[in-house]
Each structure stands twice: as C-alpha cells, then as structure tokens.
Amino acid sequence: MRTHRTVAWLFHLAVTLAALSAGSAMAQTAAATSSSPTLAAVKARGVLNCGVIGSSANFSLPDSQGVMRGIDADSCRAIAAAVFGDAGKVKYVSLAPAQRLVAVQSGEVDVAYANITWTMTRETKSGVQFAAINHYDTIGFMVPKSLKVTTTAKLNGASVCMISGPGEANAAEYFGKIKVRYKPVPFADGEQMRKAFLAKRCDAIIHDTSALASFKQTLGAQSNDYLLLPETVGREPLAGAVRKGDERWFDIVRYTHNAMVLAEELGITSDNIKSFANSADPVVKRLLGADGDLGASMGLDKEWAQNVITGVGNYGQMWERAFGASGMPRGPDHLASQGGLVFAYPMR
C-alpha cells in the first residue's frame, strides 16, 4: 500500500512540475513576444525618429509654419499616437533616396515612410521589411508642352531627368521595352531633379505619377505649360519600412496603419469617434480597446488605436488631407468595397 502511495505521490509531483514548467515557458514566450528593442528605445527617447523625403508635396513637405505635411508625415504621426498617445512626438529625418534603406538598417530612423516602393529584393537583400502600403502609385512621365510630344514613343533621343538608382532602373527597363533611345540625367533627390527640369536641363522627367501630379500643381499658372503623358509604368506600392529582426515593432507599424483602414471601413473618423464609445459591435469594441487585448499583445495601451484615430484620423481622412486639393483621383487607394485595393486585415 505504501509503495502505491509513493508511486502516486511521485506521479502527482511530476505532473505538477511539468505544469509549472509549461506555465513558465508560456510566460517567457509571452514576455518575448510582447517585447521590442525598437519600442523600448523609442519610449526611452520620448520621440519617434521617422525617415521621410521631406521635399515631396503631398507626401512629406513642410508647410508655411514649418509643420511637415503629407501622407508619409501623417503615417509617422499615427505611429507616435499609437506608442505615446501623442501624434506630435515625431522627429522627422529628411533622407535622400539613396539614404532611405541605409537609415533604416543602421537604426538612424525607427521607421521610414519616404516614397519607398516595396520590392522583393529590397526585402531579401537590404535587411528591411515593408509593414504597410499607404499609397498605390505608378511611374509616369511629364514634358513641357513646347516639346510637342504627346506619347513616350516620341521621346527618341530626349534627355530625361530621374532619381539616381530606382529612376535609372525604371527608365532603362521601360525605354528598352519600347526601343526608344534617351539620355539619362540622374539626380540624388527630387528637389534637384525638379529644379533641373524647370531649368530645361532635360526634355522630360520620369518619377512617381502622384509626385509629378503634385509637382505640376505647385507650378500655379505655369502648370498649363506642362503635360503628363498618358503612359504609366508598372505598379509602385509605397510602404513603410522597418529593420528586420524586430517582429513586434513590425506588428506595431503594420497594425497602426491597419487600424486606420478598419476605422474608415467602420465609418469611424476623428470627428465622430466619441459616438462609438458605447457601440455593441464587437469589431468596434476591439478596435477602440473596450474589449480584447489587441494593444497588450503589442506592448501598447488598450486605447492605442483610439489615440491613432483621434490624433490623425482614419485612412480616408489622411488620404484626403494629402491629395484632395491636387485633384488626383483616389483610384486604387479606395477601399476594396469601393473598387480599390485597400482593406483591413481582421483585428481579433
């Protein structure tokens, strides 16, 4: 009888120790998944370092008061609102195109929303991950009307202004396909390129279509002297980039943007968000932190998404602030329910 009791006691002890070990492992796993060295550094610093172009109208350009405006600038503000509950806690770091990925890799910036096209090799070779697409673009062409050219096929022998690196690659691929000879005139950044184009140092300019439309708009009465050609090249999903290796920070950047998209789908704006406080909709309750643990799963407050929407708005509001005055159609940036490519991943 004593032997049976001893065996039973030993069996009970083994089960108990196994349960304790499993619980400890689960706790360690939970702690690991909720930790982020980037998030810790951002909180300790008290400000988000966000890389932007800084000279691109409608994406990131200071207004007359020196406040950075545009869809990239607001994407940075949204992350600050998620982390700090304050959309103003952002330090903008202006980057030339060639500096963008290096700044992310080196830790100079915590995230970059800087007109960066999400490509395979940028992820497989450059040590960065793309977390969220904030604008679907194409590559376009603009010429002075005095050139009397209405199609890229007529640009044979033309000099073409472009951004060093990506612009050169896009031009070589496109003009090679249509068998048009051209003279590349590369520049390190967009500001230099635009000034050169206006100074007639080149016959045409190749760049993101939305950026060209915005540039044309800034010319005022002179805008009628220039023509956007009808051809566009490929698909250019512009996205926020973070360093590889910090999955939790990747989650924060991705789901901050996703929360703004979901808010638009639900009809929640920065103006009416208080009216949703007592909503019985489980999706709304999870988004606004009244139910579930979405914030805690990323190391954030339960009201993180509420702070984003209050401080920056939903995706549609952000898009309208950036591009509304330009007259550019929203196109693929519409919600999927409205014929676009934008939709929110389930947040549960």
Task: Report, as an integer, the average pLDDT of 158-169.
Answer: 95
Q: Which residue has the tokens 């939903």?
A: 314
Distances (CA, A) of 89 to 4, 83, 325: 66, 9, 27
Q: For the segment 258-268, what is each residue's pLDDT rounded down to a tens digit?
A: 999 999 999 99
Mean pLDDT of the chain: 90
Locate the DSSP E strands across 164-279.
182-187, 204-208, 226-228, 233-243
Its pTM stands at 0.81
Q: For the segment 266-282, what is each residue's pLDDT rounded down to a tens digit?
A: 999 999 999 999 999 99
Q: For the segment 235-266, what is each residue's pLDDT rounded down to a tens digit?
A: 889 999 999 999 999 999 999 999 999 999 99
Own/partner long-range contacts of 4-13 (Cβ < 8 Å, ≥24 apart):
none
- Secondary structure class of 80 (helix, strand, coil): helix
Instruction: Give the residue, 20 or 287, on which the prediction is more confident.
Output: 287
Task: Report, as an integer, the average pLDDT of 99-115.
Answer: 97
Measured torsion, CA atoms of residues 72, 73, 75, 79, in degrees rounded to the nearest 10: 140
Q: For the segment 1-12, what is each residue's pLDDT rounded down to a tens digit?
A: 444 444 444 444
Enter the tokens of residue 73: 């600038």
Is residue 18's pLDDT more than 60?
A: no
Confidence band for 34, pLDDT divided at 50, 70 and 90:
low
Burial zone of 340 (CB within 10 Å; 0-12 exposed, 13-18 middle, 19+ buried): middle
Residues 194/215, Cβ–Cβ less than 8 Å: yes
103 phi/psi in degrees, rounded to 5: -65, -35
- β-partners of residue 227 are 143
Confidence band for 327, pLDDT divided at 50, 70 and 90:
confident
Distance CA 56, CA 72 (A): 10
Q: Say what the pLDDT of residue 329 is.
A: 79
Enter the tokens of residue 214: 């915005």
